[in-house]
Amino acid sequence: MLKKLLVVGVICGVAWAFLFWYFMGYPPFRRVEVVSLCDLCRDPEAWVGKKVCVEGIMEGPLIYIPEGAPPYNYLLKDPEHNVSFGVLWPGVVKYHAHVVVVGVVRKGGKGPLIVGPEYYIEAEEVTVSG
């Protein structure tokens, strides 16, 4: 009888821990929020640390001098609204490809020639669409 209670207690404890982590946004359980590029550019600070799904046209990889290099290597653009947002992606994407990017918004920009904060998406997945 004691063993059954102990097993049930352990199972309940593990389930409670997973639910707690899920609702607190622990990284493996982080929910993806679909957001437009305009909303992301309007208030990037509100999205820092959140996992987002954004659609746009990918340009890059970009080449900079080391002192002025931002923390990203691609730009995600919305030609309708004339806005762009940085994307850090180690893979290769065809220039001017229409893509969907899923990743976490980060704040960076610690180079000597970078004056203000640089916001970018640390991409986990880039999918070419259409």
DSSP string spanning 42-53?
H-GGGGBT-EEE
51 in Cβ contact with 36 (< 8 Å): no
Task: Check whether residue 39 and residue 49 sit in a common domain.
Answer: yes
pLDDT band at 72 (very low <50, low <70, confident <90, very high): confident
Task: Check whether residue 98 and residue 115 sit in a common domain.
Answer: yes
Name the DSSP letter for residue 39: H
Task: Check whether residue 69 and residue 123 sit in a common domain.
Answer: yes
Q: Which domain holds residue 123?
A: 31-128
**Cα 94 from Cα 129, distance rounded (Å):** 12
**Cα 113 from Cα 63, distance rounded (Å):** 15
- Look at the chain and report how many structural domains it folds into: 2
Task: Check whether residue 38 and residue 61 sit in a common domain.
Answer: yes
**pLDDT tens profile 14-32:** 878 777 766 665 656 567 8
Q: Which pLDDT belongs to residue 33?
A: 86
Task: Check whether residue 96 and residue 58 sit in a common domain.
Answer: yes
Task: Check whether residue 37 and residue 22 sit in a common domain.
Answer: no
CATH number for the domain including 41? 2.40.50.140
**Cα 119 from Cα 110, distance rounded (Å):** 12
